[in-house]
Structure 1
Amino acid sequence: MKQIKIIAVIAIVIVIGLIAVGSAFLNNEPESRNPELSLNINASHAISVVTNNTSASDYLTKNFDNPDWRVVTAKLERGTVYNLDGTPVQNETNVWKVEAMERTCACSGIDDLYVVEGYVSADTGELLEISTKTVSEQNYDKKTCATTSCH
């Protein structure tokens, strides 16, 4: 009887541990994974700052036609952030790197992407830099493509 109670207690501890670990992984906000990190601007707000910028908005309106071919990401960068030409954007501690990209066609194989790339201060919400460009999909990982057929 004592062994059954011990096994039951161990099983309960394991279940509680799995629930705690699972809930930590399900909560994707960087602030929750790192309690000492306090951000004034979240990823959604950073995406809004970039997409509401006049030049980005014009580029999106002109070139982005098909939501199924589109990917929008926001990644929190810590420390100095560099843009594509290697120059530092700003020596901010926390910067959101926002990328909106869409394929230029539904063809198979590697083709071009329309890209809007912006950097937003996670502390102030200030747009630090924005660029629009057309680049080859080879410059991006598979996970950034809207379809798996591009790589």
Structure 2
Amino acid sequence: MNNLEKHALSLGKLWTNFNSLELLLRFYIAKKLGEPDIGLDGKVGEILNVNPITDYRTFRQLTSKYNELSETTLNFEPIEKLRDALAHGRIFTNDDTPMTVVKFSKPKRSQSDKTTVEYREVLTLKFLSEKNSFLRDLIKQVADAMPNS
């Protein structure tokens, strides 16, 4: 496996861990609020009620709500900006070098032709491994805190 393939695999693991954590947070919130956790089995075109599974809360809003409802506060801050950058930024690489993610701000109304670099990170294998470990730890903590049905 070449370096680009190793980086792509590590980035895929990171994205999978982010998705797993987000869904666990949604299930946790649904259980704590006594809301149904329906929606994942919905059919295309089916109209569903908005609940913690189907709503459009951002990752940061989900982590905030988790901490509001949980007896134990977790520190999600080290991965919130990375999650946002991966979802809304640009990922690129040159040949076999580590990938880089860059996220730009929305243009301001007063300067609609300008943007600001909000986030930039070189996604080295070490960085990806550390963030994957951090995410797996958070996934375990949220899963362990899940209320019983």
Q: TM-score surpassing 0.5?
A: no
Q: Which has the higher strand share?
A: 1
Look at both structures and tell me which one has the larger radius of gyration over its CA atoms.
1
With structure 2 as the length reference, what TM-score do the two structures score? 0.30
Q: Which has the higher helix share?
A: 2
With structure 1 as the length reference, what TM-score do the two structures score? 0.29
